[in-house]
């Protein structure tokens, strides 16, 4: 399976990129770093610069063709930048339209709010997004990991880096169920 990791060029929370990436590799799937521009993605450890990671593919349009599932890492600046990029929003929306599973952690659901894909869904996130999620038609819960199997696409969400182990376990299971 080919898994897209969508990030802006700057602002992704490093551990929310690297730990899910390792989980995808451990499942023997193919992770691909997709970004809004070419070059390297600058990751952060909260507010401090961390590593950089090479972009595999630059968003060319809003199609999820060529990918089986999507992971949206958090960080405050990352989803805030993505939600202002029409191609990124279209790319995310297309995973839902196509019925492909999506996983999002921490602040990443901001991009889902912008893509208008939360009506009737139950999810979790960093607590400060609760009102945004409710205003977008979703139901916010304070849980370590939440799997919402509403049609057409399964959505796996978690609140924060402390939830990464549960998040990775849940999305790998759900992605695997979709791929079989």
Gap between the Cα atoms of 117 and 96, Å rounded: 7
Gap between the Cα atoms of 118 and 155, Å rounded: 10
Q: Reduced to 3 DSSP states, what percent helix, strand and coil does the chain have, rounded to the nearest 5?
A: 35, 30, 35
Asked whether the beta carbons of 99 and 132 are under 8 A apart, the reply is no
Place of tokens 């999810």: 123
CA 5 to chain centre: 7
Asked whether the beta carbons of 107 and 90 are under 8 A apart, the reply is no
Active site residue 106: yes
Catalytic residue among 46, 57, 106, 148: 106
Gap between the Cα atoms of 171 and 33, Å rounded: 17
Other residues' Cβ atoms within 10 Å of the Cβ of residue 143: 15
Catalytic residue among 46, 107, 148, 168: 107
Report the catalytic residues.
106-107
């Amino acid at each position: 399976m080919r898994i897209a990791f969508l990030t802006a060029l700057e602002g992704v929370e490093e551990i929310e990129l690297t730990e899910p990436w390792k989980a995808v590799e451990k499942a023997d799937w193919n992770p691909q770093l997709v970004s809004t521009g070419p070059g390297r993605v600058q990751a952060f450890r909260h507010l401090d610069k961390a590593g950089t990671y090479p972009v595999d593919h630059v968003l060319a349009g809003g199609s999820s063709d060529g990918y089986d599932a999507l992971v949206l890492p958090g960080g405050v600046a990352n989803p805030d930048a993505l939600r202002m990029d029409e191609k990124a929003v279209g790319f995310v929306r297309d995973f839902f339209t196509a019925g492909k599973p999506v996983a999002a952690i921490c602040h990443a659901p901001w991009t889902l709010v912008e893509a208008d894909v939360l009506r009737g869904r139950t999810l979790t996130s960093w607590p400060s997004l609760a009102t945004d999620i409710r205003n977008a038609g979703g139901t916010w819960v304070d849980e370590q990991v939440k799997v919402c199997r509403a049609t057409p696409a399964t959505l796996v969400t978690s609140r924060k880096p402390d939830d990464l182990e549960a998040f990775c376990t849940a999305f790998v299971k759900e992605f695997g169920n979709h791929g079989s």
